[in-house]
A = this chain, B = another copy of it.
Amino acid sequence: MRTAGPASSGGPQLAAVLELGGERLRALLDAAERRLAEAPLGHGDALAAHASATLAAGGKRLRPMLVFIAAGDASPDDLVDAAAAVELVHMATLVHDDVLDGARLRRGRPTVYAEGGRRAATATGDLLFSRAFALLAATGRADAVRVVSEAASALARGELMQREDAWSAGVTRERYLERCRLKTARLFEAACQLGALLGDPAAAAAAELGSFGERIGVAFQIFDDVLDVSGPTERTGKQRGADLLDGTVTLPLIVARERDRDLDRLDLRAAARDAGSAAELCDRIAATGALDEARDRALAYVAAAKSALDELELPPAQRELLELVADGVVERYA
């Protein structure tokens, strides 16, 4: 399951980002929020209702935040369009995921799928996707369109890969990490690249900032997968073991299988057949210490992301903001 993270709007690290980002960052995030609210307008009542509910359900707006921070001190109009576009692509995938998962609640609100059914939700996802490219086109920057369309291709490819690997005992760490890159990290990478492309011309090179974004994206996904096993539900807003029920093989299970031969012999389809057996399997995975190893792996990606910044001569405030965001993708589980 691709999740938007827990329902909270972020912990102390992200609060510190907003504090340090000051008036510029706050104003840009507000502008992005307005752009997101406008995006579905003028495209029919059904879309307005469905999309607005999705958009209003909020989230941490991590991706727009990265666009703005990567842009340095610049605040061109295009930047807000780009930030909103990245968030719209993210939301489009969430709406489609909810259809496929049959998910009726997200962040405590009814999903588009629950309210409008499969057809309306599939079309709503398509529409949010289209609006993202319409916003990007408004910037007149074909390079920005390319960055996002390549990331969107990667998201879909990651989803296909996840389907291919479902219930499989043969998923390696490398393949799992490649899937994290595709389904999550590439959009974080795109957010950073967009900021660098559209922002301060004296700001960091798009490639290095993209590499930073990709690494925190992988860290984000690994932590998300740890959370699926560790719970608790009241913190994550979703059932423990949802990925297992879905056949999605993540790092905690891969590591646990290496450590526990009985787990390795288990048929996932039989072992996680309902909420109760999935929770039991989560406990067995946790008992191997696999969650600690997975958390460490994610922290290593956060550290690698920060070291990617060494290549760049960033203004100290920008660097500090990026590092705070990097820590922020981890603090959900601190």
Partner-B contacts on A (CB < 8 A) = 43-47, 50, 92-93, 96, 99-100, 116-120, 122-127, 129-131, 133-134, 136-143, 145-146, 148-150, 152-153, 155-157, 159-164
Q: Knowing A131-B153, A133-B145, A152-B133 touch, does A163 contact B126 (C-beta < 8 A)?
A: no
Q: In the complex, A168 Cα to B100 Cα: how many Å?
A: 27
Q: Which of B45, B47, B148, B161 contacts A44 (CB 8 A)?
A: B161
Q: In the complex, A269 Cα to B116 Cα: how many Å?
A: 18
Q: In the complex, A287 Cα to B141 Cα: how many Å?
A: 55
Q: In the complex, A96 Cα to B146 Cα: how many Å?
A: 23
Q: Which residues of B contact A140 (CB under 8 A)?
A: 142
Closest residue to A96 on the B side, CB-wise? Answer: B122
A120 and B160 form a contact (CB under 8 A): yes
Q: Which of B123, B139, B164 contacts A156 (CB 8 A)?
A: B123
A153 and B117 form a contact (CB under 8 A): no
Q: How far is the CB of A185 from chain B (nearest CB, A)?
A: 16
The 4 A-B residue pairs whose C-beta atoms are closest, nearest first, are: A127-B156, A137-B146, A133-B149, A137-B145
B100 and A159 form a contact (CB under 8 A): no
Q: Which residues of B contact A46 (CB under 8 A)?
A: 157, 160-161, 163-164
Q: How far is the CB of A180 from chain B (nearest CB, A)?
A: 15
A146 and B138 form a contact (CB under 8 A): yes
Q: How far is the CB of A55 from chain B (nearest CB, A)?
A: 15
Q: How far is the CB of A90 from chain B (nearest CB, A)?
A: 13
Q: How far is the CB of A85 from chain B (nearest CB, A)?
A: 10
Q: In the complex, A122 Cα to B138 Cα: how many Å?
A: 27
Q: Which residues of B contact A45 (CB under 8 A)?
A: 164
Q: Knowing A116-B163, A140-B142, A149-B137 touch, does A157 contact B44 (C-beta < 8 A)?
A: yes
Q: Which of B96, B127, B129, B138 contacts A157 (CB 8 A)?
A: B127
Q: Which of B99, B142, B157 contacts A139 (CB 8 A)?
A: B142
Q: In the complex, A157 Cα to B50 Cα: how many Å?
A: 12
Q: Which residues of B contact A92 (CB under 8 A)?
A: 126
Q: Knowing A96-B126, A126-B129, A127-B157 touch, does A134 contact B146 (C-beta < 8 A)?
A: yes
Q: Which of B99, B130, B160, B164 contacts A153 (CB 8 A)?
A: B130
Q: Knowing A116-B163, A149-B137 touch, does A155 contact B142 (C-beta < 8 A)?
A: no
Q: In the complex, A85 Cα to B93 Cα: how many Å?
A: 21
B160 and A127 form a contact (CB under 8 A): yes
Q: In the complex, A122 Cα to B150 Cα: how many Å?
A: 17
A156 and B100 form a contact (CB under 8 A): no
Q: How far is the CB of A69 from chain B (nearest CB, A)?
A: 24
Q: Which of B124, B145, B153 contacts A127 (CB 8 A)?
A: B153
Q: How far is the CB of A43 from chain B (nearest CB, A)?
A: 5
Q: Which residues of B contact A117 (CB under 8 A)?
A: 163
B100 and A119 form a contact (CB under 8 A): yes
A-B contact pairs, 19 of them (CB 8 A): A43-B157, A44-B157, A46-B157, A46-B160, A46-B163, A50-B160, A93-B126, A96-B126, A100-B118, A117-B163, A119-B162, A120-B160, A127-B160, A130-B156, A133-B149, A137-B142, A142-B142, A142-B145, A145-B145
